[in-house]
Amino acid sequence: MTRHFLKDSDLTPQEQAEVIDLAIALKADRFRERPFDGPKTVAVIFDKTSTRTRVSFAVGIADLGGMPLIIDSGVSQLGKKESVADTAKVLERQVEQIVWRTYAQSGLEEMAANSTVPVINSLSDDWHPCQLLADLMTVKERFGKTKGLKLAYVGDANNNMANSYLVASAMAGMSVSISAPEGYLPNQKVVDEAKSFADHFGQEIVITTDPKLAVSGADVVATDTWVSMGMEAEAEKRAKLFASYSVTEELFGHANSDAVFLHCLPAYRGFEVSSEVIDGPRSLVWQEAENRLHAQKALMVFLAKHS
């Protein structure tokens, strides 16, 4: 059966750990795995803008011996003149894997349901699972483990990054605290999924409107833009609403003294994070951005082996 990666829990916790360990090995020995030798082609489709995802998938596919075929949806038939199902049937006969950044999760599910080659979610409105592989890899590089650590996420907690932080970090055996204003907290279904993993590892999930409580005792503090792609009309309203959830030196000071800061980027200094924090000595954001390359290569190797 073809394996897809549409959301964080499409890997088991054990498989997630396996992919992260392979990512660390590939970082040390970059051209070790060559599943796309030929070169075979991987399609990478974008319905939304991107820098990191575009570059890291293109470079990663080339590192694995393959050829990246970058498709901007604006210049393809997908979504306008041709259905997702028909597009999947065209692509699966020519490419090894399909990577897609899009809006609705249902589109990815339809692509996967009609594709005999693996489909990878490179960001949807609901999840950003490739980012979390890179983030957890970064945490493991720094602390030598993920299990038993506490991650705090502060800001817009009703978006793709908050969902992925909740579920993927719980899968990695971490405690997770999430803080956002009322109305921007995660959906109960996502919280329940994270709780089932946390229970398994004896860890805790805390959802609170108090950012200091969330950050207190954290090993990892993370945030994301307050205005995700597609939410631009709410930018002004959100800037006011989220003001007290900015990761400043003061808020970061409630975390452990050796805590690190993560942000998937792009970042908006002075909004969700201050310059002092993101450009400070405890920020790992550039290592995190580089790790997208290694983590996604490991994921593609895993899917090539298991499909």
224 is catalytic: yes
CA distances from 194 to 133, 170, 191 (A): 16, 6, 5
Position among 50, 164, 175, 274 found at the interface with ligand CP (CB under 6 A): 50
Question: Of 31-39, 48-56, 80-88, 163-171, which part binds ligand CP (CB under 6 A)?
Answer: 48-56
Q: Smaller CB distance to ligand NVA: residue 213 or 229?
A: 229
**238 an active-site residue?**
no
Using CB under 6 A as the binding rule, whether residue 51 contacts ligand CP is answered as: yes
Can 264 be counted among the known catalytic residues? yes
- CA distances (Å), origin 237, targets 217, 240, 243: 31, 6, 10
Amino acid at residue number 18 = E
Sketch the per residue contact string, 96 through 135, with ligand CP: x for CB under 6 A, - otherwise.
Answer: ---------------------------x-------x----
In whole angstroms, the minimum distance from the beta carbon of 230 to ligand NVA comes to 7
Closest among 173, 179, 57, 186 to 127, alpha carbons compared: 186
Least gap, CB of 283 to ligand CP (angstroms): 15
Tokens describing residue 289: 């951005």
Q: Say if residue 305 is exposed, middle or buried (CB neighbours under 10 Å; 0-12, 13-18, 19+).
A: exposed
Query: Rounded to the nearest whole angstrom, what is the least distance from the CB of residue 53 to ligand CP in the complex?
Result: 3
Binding interface with ligand NVA (CB under 6 A): 123, 159-161, 224-225, 228-229, 264
- Let me know: does 228 contact 156? Beta carbons within 8 Å: yes
CA 283 to chain centre: 18
Residue 257 and residue 216 in contact, taking contact as beta carbons nearer than 8 Å: no
In the complex, what is the shortest distance from the CB of residue 164 to ligand CP, in angstroms, rounded to a whole number? 11
- Position 8, amino acid: D
What CA–CA distance (Å, rounded) separates 215 from 2? 40
In the bound state with ligand CP, the residue whose beta carbon lies nearer, of 269 and 305, is 269
- Smallest gap from residue 161 Cβ to ligand CP (A): 9
Question: What residue type is assigned to position 212 of the chain?
Answer: K
Does position 53 interact with ligand CP (CB under 6 A)? The reply is yes
Integer Cα distance of 146 and 174 in angstroms: 6
51 binding partner (options ligand NVA, ligand CP, none; Cβ < 5 to 8 Å by kind) = ligand CP
Q: Residue 69: which of ligand NVA, ligand CP, none does it interact with, CB under 5 to 8 A by kind?
A: none
Query: Of 160 and 177, which CB lies nearer to ligand NVA in the complex structure?
Result: 160
- 202/135 Cα distance (integer angstroms): 21
Enumerate the active-site residues: 101, 128, 131, 224, 264, 292
Residues of this chain that bind ligand CP (CB under 6 A): 50-53, 123, 131, 264-265
